[in-house]
A and B are shown apart, each in its own frame.
Chain A
Amino acid sequence: MSLTLRIWRQNGPTAKGKMVTYKVTDISPDMSFLEMLDVLNEQLIVQGDDPVAFDHDCREGICGMCGVMINGEAHGPQQTTTCQLHMRSFKDGDKIDIEPWRASPFPVIKDLAVDRRALDRIIQAGGYISVATGTAPEAHSTPVPKKDSDAAFDAATCIGCGACVAACPNASSMLFTAAKVTHLGLLPQGQPERNDRVVNMVAQQDREGFGGCTNIGECSHACPKGISMETISRLNHDLLGALRAGARPKS
C-alpha cells in the first residue's frame, strides 16, 4: 500500500520543528510500523537526505524504547507499542501524522526521539527495595499470597515507555509512578519503605515538571501494558496514609 506521512522534523532540542510530508509506497501489511519507517529512512539515506530519528531497540514490545504519537494516539490505534503495531492497522492511501511525545520533562532530542530520563529519576527517588547484595534471606522464608503476587506482577510490567505521559492531557506521569508504587507496595518486601517511597516519588514527578493527575484515564488506555487506573487509586491511598503517618519527602 501507499501512504502519506506527515512527520515532525526537529533538528535538535532548541531548534524549531515542523511537520514534513513524505510518501512511501509498497508497504506490506505484515510490516511493523517501525519497519515502515525503516523503508522511508533507507529511501532518505540513498537520496542523501537526513533520515528520521526515532528511538527503538528490542522491537518486540518489551524494552519501552520506541514510542511516537500516531494520528494523535500514543503508540497508534492499537493498545500496543509502536514496534508491535503492524501496518495491517492502516489502509492504502491513509494519511498518518507522526509526532514525538510532548511534555516539557521529555525534551526532544531530534525528530521523534525524546529524552525520558525524568522517569528514571522518579525511580531514583524511591522506586526500589533497599537490599544489599548477599544480605537477602532464603526466598521461601516469606510466602506471598498468589493474589498479591499476581497483582504486583501486573503493575510491574510497566515498560517505562512514557506513552501515559504523552497521552495524558495534563502530561502527567502518574500511571508510571503508580505502577511502581503498586508493584512494590503489594509485596511484603516492599513494606518498610512504603511510606517514604510514595511521598518521594510523587514529589519527584512534580519536581520534574510533569502535570498533576486529574483522573482522566487517557493514560491507561494508551498504555501498551494495560496498567490499570486502579494503581493510581492505590498510590493516592498510600500517599494519604503516608502523609498521615508523618512521612515527608526528602528535599
Chain B
Amino acid sequence: MAKTSSVFKKIVMAVSGILMLLFLIAHMVGNLHIFQGAASFNHYSEWLRTVGEPALPPRTLLTVIEIGLLVSVAAHMWAAISLWRQAKRARPQSYVTKKSVAQSYASRTMRWGGVIIGLFIVYHILDLTFGAANPAGTDSTPYDRTVASFQNPIATTVYVITLILLGMHLRHGIWSATQTLGQSNRRRERTVSVFAVVFSTLLIAGYLVVPAAVVFGLVD
C-alpha cells in the first residue's frame, strides 16, 4: 500500500527526475566538446564507449548510464502516468468554468511537456546515437550526425522547442522535487525558485549553443 501511495509515486518521480537531471548536466558538458572540433567530439563519444578498458568490458560506463536512464525514464513515466490517471478518476466530471489562479505555465505543461520530452528522447536517440533518423545515415560519426541534424531546419526547430519545454519542465520540476522530498519551507521557497530558474536557464542555454553554433556556421 505504502509503495503505491500517491506520495510515494511523487517521490519516485522526484528521485528519477534528479537522476535524469544529473545525466543532463553531464550530457550538456559533453556536448560542449563540439567547440573543440570534430575529433574531440568524436573522441569523447569514443571515450564513453571504451573507458575502463581493458579492465572493464567495452561500453561498461555507457551501459550503466543507459540502464540507469532507462530505469529512470520508465519509473518517471510510470509515476507520471499513474498520477495522471488517478487525477482523471478523481474528477470525472469537469467544471463548466474553471480558472487557474496559482498555476504557472510551467506547472500546467508538466504532463504534456513530459510526453513531448519522452517522444523527443526516442527521436533523439534514433537521430544521434543510431543515426537511423539522421540525414547523415547510420555509419557517420556523431559529429557528422549532429551537424547534419542542425543543418536541417525542421530538426533544429524540434530540438529548440523541446529544449525550451525541457527548461520549463525543469524549472517547475526542481521546485516540485524539493517540495516532494519535504525540503521546502517558507524560508527556502524563494531561494529554491530562484535557483530553479537560474539553473534551468543555464542548462538549456548550454544545450542551445550547439544548434546555434551549427546554424550560425560557427561549427560545420
Contacts and interface: CB of A to CB of B under 8 A. Distances in A.
Determine direct contact between A and B, CB below 8 Å.
yes
A238 B6 contact: no
B86 A170 contact: yes
A98 to B, nearest CB: 9
Given A202-B5, A243-B2, A215 B180 contact: yes
B1 interface: yes
A102 B94 contact: yes
Query: SS class of chain A's interface: helix, strand, loop or mixed?
Result: mixed
B96 interface: yes
Contacts of A99: 95-97
A41 interface: no
B2 A199 contact: yes
Nearest to B178: A233
A251 interface: yes
- Residue with the greatest number of chain A CB neighbours at <10 A, chosen from B8, B87, B91, B94: B91
B175 interface: yes
User: Which bucket holds chain A's interface residue count?
Assistant: 35 or more
Given A211-B6, A211-B90, A217-B103, A237 B182 contact: yes
Interface string B165-192: 0000000100110111111111001000
A233 B14 CA distance: 13
B156 to A, nearest CB: 32
Contacts of B182: 233-241
Interface string B78-118: 00000100110111111111111111000100100000000
A216 B90 contact: no
Contact of B7 (A71, A202, A220): A202
A238 B178 CA distance: 14
B124 interface: no
Interface string A207-251: 001111111111011100000111011111111110100001101
A222 B99 CA distance: 11
Contacts of A218: 100-103
A104 B2 contact: no
A202 B6 contact: yes
Contacts of A172: 6, 87, 90
B7 A103 contact: no
A229 B184 contact: yes
B91 A104 contact: yes
A144 interface: no
Given A169-B87, A212-B10, A215-B179, A104 B97 contact: no
A204 B5 CA distance: 9
A216 B107 contact: yes
A239 B10 CA distance: 12
Interface in A172-202: 172, 199, 202
B183 A217 contact: no
A202 B5 CA distance: 7
B101 A222 contact: yes
Contacts of A211: 6, 83, 86-87, 89-91
- Residue with the greatest number of chain A CB neighbours at <10 A, chosen from B4, B10, B97, B178: B97
Contact of A214 (B99, B176, B189): B176
A172 B93 CA distance: 15
Given A73-B101, A99-B97, A214 B83 contact: yes
A118 B114 CA distance: 32
B6 A213 contact: yes
A8 interface: yes
B107 A212 contact: no
Nearest to A222: B101
Interface in B9-53: 9-11
A212 B83 contact: yes
A233 B179 contact: yes
Given A72-B99, A213-B10, 16 more contacts: A6-B96, A73-B101, A102-B94, A169-B100, A211-B6, A213-B6, A214-B87, A215-B179, A215-B180, A217-B103, A218-B101, A221-B102, A234-B182, A236-B11, A249-B1, A249-B2
20 contacts: A72-B97, A99-B97, A105-B90, A170-B87, A171-B91, A172-B90, A206-B5, A213-B10, A214-B176, A216-B107, A221-B101, A221-B102, A230-B186, A232-B179, A233-B179, A233-B185, A236-B11, A239-B182, A249-B1, A249-B2
